[in-house]
Structure 1
Amino acid sequence: MLHPTRAWLALGLIALLAACATGPRISSDSDPSADFSRYRTFSFYRPLAIEEHGYATLTSGRIKAAARAQMESRGYVYSENAPDLWINLNAYLQEKTDVVSTPEVDYDYYYSYRARRYVAVPYWRDRAQVYRYTEGTLNVDVVDARANRLVWTGVAVGRAGRDAPERRAEKIDSAMADIFARYPYRAGSATATPPAR
């Protein structure tokens, strides 16, 4: 039988490994009436949601570059003049709190006159631990430029941390690739390939 301290250590290690193994949660949705075979060109919506102050930041530039690379890898051509699609991008951070309650056992001792010795009596209690973290959300909207109508959206939600700039760029590229893995269309194609799960 495992000692209670070792059992908690093992559970903590399993939880840590599970947290490291998972990436952001990805979701997507599309307009079933949209004719994706008509779309061949794209540009970025103006003003972009991530450039709410009217200027580009280093992070918004990285996000735009990652989205452009994903669109171009699917055969779309970047065109400022009369694009078929607008890409709008949004990203934000939110402080979150997790409260985890775990049961633990402790022992109280009392002297038993009948047994003529001290007896250990177990009792259970819950221990609450509070974890504060930052959650990041990255949203990609694909808009039919002629109809001014959303035809596809993809969202990545995950824990964010303070990273070095090169590591931040890798995470942005990875999150954008995860989002676009759910985008089943190619430029001018009438058939959609199934999105990655």
Structure 2
Amino acid sequence: MRTLQRTSRWLFVLLATVVLAACATGPQVRTDHDPTANFSQYRTWSFYSPIAMEESGYSTWISDRIKDNVRREMDARGYRYVESSPDLQVNFQGVVQDRTDVWTMPRADTQWFYNYRRKAYVAVPVWYDDTQVSRYREGTLTVDLVDARRNRMVWTGAAIGRVVNKTPEQKMAEVDQAINAIFLQYPHRAATP
């Protein structure tokens, strides 16, 4: 009996650790690229004009933070920032949408009925589906790399995660994490002259 209790405790701790690790992994990242693009020709970059996140005509502290992170990531890959005639232009945008998850869980219960023939209560098993609904907000931060000469997107990365109320400092840390996660999926470096 003691072995069974120790084993069940150990399994519970292992399961809890796996669940917590899954929650702490950060945003889900998806990428795509143009298969006809020749990434070995790109050396310089600048920001696309106008940036999709700043279409309304003004910037925010979040868009400034994203710009700083993009500069750091592009510099780390050997790309040189230039104001005019770049090889690549970087565009980004953020979208927040309301989402709903619906799932069912099979459940079993016992119903008690009085049996007049036996003059006793009888347990009858009952199986049913329990439907759960969860509403949340999902944010998507997308970074696009555009071939400036052809004005054609050649690579895109998107970080997708749940949006919860946080302090500005926590939001900045999430922006940093999202941009880092997106660029971890970018496999190219600047062309050498």
Residue 85 in structure 1 maps to residue 88 in structure 2: yes
In the TM superposition, 1:29-178 aligns within 5 A as 29-178=32-181
> Separation in 2 of the partners of 1:18 and 1:99?
23
> Separation in 1 of the partners of 2:24 and 2:64?
28
* Partner SS, residue 172 of structure 2: helix
Query: 1:113 Cα shift?
Result: 3.6
> Separation in 2 of the partners of 1:58 and 1:41?
25
Residue type of the alignment partner of 1:171: E
TM-score using structure 1 length: 0.82
Higher mean displacement: 98-107 or 176-185: 98-107
CA contact (8 A) 1:36 1:189 kept: no
In the TM superposition, 1:9-24 aligns within 5 A as 17=20, 20-24=23-27
Measured against aligned partners, the alpha-carbon deviations of 1:151-177 in whole angstroms (never above 9, x if no partner) come to 111112121111111111111111111
Higher mean displacement: 108-117 or 83-92: 108-117
> Separation in 2 of the partners of 1:165 and 1:129?
32
Provide the aligned length of Structure 1 versus Structure 2: 182
> For residues 138 and 167 of structure 1, do their structure 2 counterparts lie closer, same or farther at Cα, with a shift above 3 Å needed?
same
How large is the RMSD of aligned CA atoms in angstroms? Answer: 2.5
Unaligned runs of 5+ in 1: 1-8, 191-197
Query: 1:114 Cα shift?
Result: 3.9
> Separation in 2 of the partners of 1:23 and 1:115?
60
Query: 1:13 Cα shift?
Result: 6.2
Residue type of the alignment partner of 2:36: S
Query: 1:86 Cα shift?
Result: 0.4
Measured against aligned partners, the alpha-carbon deviations of 1:106-133 in whole angstroms (never above 9, x if no partner) come to 2221222443321111212222221110
CA contact (8 A) 1:109 1:119 kept: yes
> Separation in 2 of the partners of 1:21 and 1:166?
18
Residue type of the alignment partner of 1:62: R
* Partner SS, residue 137 of structure 1: strand
> Separation in 1 of the partners of 2:22 and 2:138?
14
Query: 1:34 Cα shift?
Result: 2.0
Higher mean displacement: 28-37 or 68-77: 28-37
Q: 2:185 is matched with which residue?
A: 182
> Separation in 1 of the partners of 2:73 and 2:60?
20
Query: 1:19 Cα shift?
Result: 5.1
Residue type of the alignment partner of 2:184: A
* Partner SS, residue 40 of structure 2: helix
Unaligned runs of 5+ in 2: 1-11
Question: Which 4+ stretches in 1 moved above 3 angstroms?
Answer: 12-19, 113-116
CA contact (8 A) 2:34 2:154 kept: yes
> Separation in 2 of the partners of 1:32 and 1:19?
32
Q: 2:28 is matched with which residue?
A: 25
